[in-house]
Amino acid sequence: MPLLPEPDLAGPESAMPGRRLSELAEQAVRCTTACCGAGTTVSEGGSEQAASVTHPDLAGLVSVQLSSGDGPIPAAHERGAPVETGDLLRDERWPEYRAMALDSGVRSSVTLPFQCAGLTVTLTLFSFRPDTLDDVRHGPAQALGDLATTGLVRDRRYRAALTELDHLGTALRTRPVVDQACGIIMHVLTCDADKAFTMLRRISQTTNRKLADVAAAVVQKRGKGLERELAGLAAEEGNHPAGGPRAR
């Protein structure tokens, strides 16, 4: 079951959709009469993320559509409805896709689109015989596509939640160091906590370093060597009120 494009096996963001797409294609073929193979794609916001086919010979039929933006898959995306090609010997739409399909022995296909929470999945079933996939949109392939799309959305939300938890954990671990650094700056500048945090953030921005790294450096040096820099930043902040224009 080759994937198009090949997934980054080191990144779960691409590996997870690829696995679900492969399973959807295989299951749809097994439960669809006269089907010789299938291809699936998933995209978010119009940008293709992954694709899968059940047989290597079908890879070109999917990739030519994704690269050219012309064919049943792009048409299903645009319409939000199934797109059928009953007999490619008579159907002259999408010449490049038609020529490649006929050269592979494919006579007919149907593409089913599934949309949920900004995610679009397509399932394309192919047949060597004409007019044999008319009932696909009312068969089990439709239910399989709905289930796979829901699973992909759930996977995406789960990964987003894990990322947010990781960010929160990092924030909690660095908060004590940031507080200590603010305390040192308050002592050096004789200022309040808000002003101290503003100075810490300014140093982070001007040096292109993470706030936590800057705070750790301030704590390690106990503010030594920063007096002049902090005083200069404090004077600059005083000369340019928040929201006001800065001199160049």
Instruction: Reply yes or no on whether the pLDDT at 5 is more than 50.
Output: no
- CA nearest neighbour of 58 among 18, 90, 87, 25: 25
Residues 60-84: what's their mean pLDDT?
A: 94
**Which residues partner with 121 through β-bridges?**
42, 114
Q: Tell me: the pLDDT tens digits for 166-224? A: 767 766 677 888 888 888 888 887 888 888 888 888 888 888 888 888 888 888 877 67
Residue 220: the pLDDT is: 82
Q: Tell me: the pLDDT tens digits for 111-143? A: 999 999 889 999 999 999 999 998 888 889 999
Summary mean pLDDT of the chain: 83
Residue 27: the pLDDT is: 96
Instruction: Reply yes or no on whether the pLDDT at 80 is more than 90.
Output: yes
Long-range CB pairs of 163-170, under 8 A, 24+ apart, other chains included:
170/212
Q: Using 50, 70 and 90 to split pLDDT, how confident is the model at 7?
A: very low
**Which residues partner with 53 through β-bridges?**
39
Burial track 6-18 (b if 16+ CB lie within 10 A, e otherwise)? ebeeeeeebebbb
Instruction: Reply yes or no on whether the pLDDT at 14 is more than 60.
Output: no
Q: Tell me: the pLDDT tens digits for 172-181? A: 677 888 888 8
Angle, vertex CA 40, rays to CA 133 and CA 86, nearest 5: 25
- Contact indicator for 18, 48 with CB cutoff of 8 Å: no
Residue 24: the pLDDT is: 96
* Residue 234: strand, helix, or coil: helix
* Residue 243: strand, helix, or coil: coil
Whole-structure pTM value: 0.67
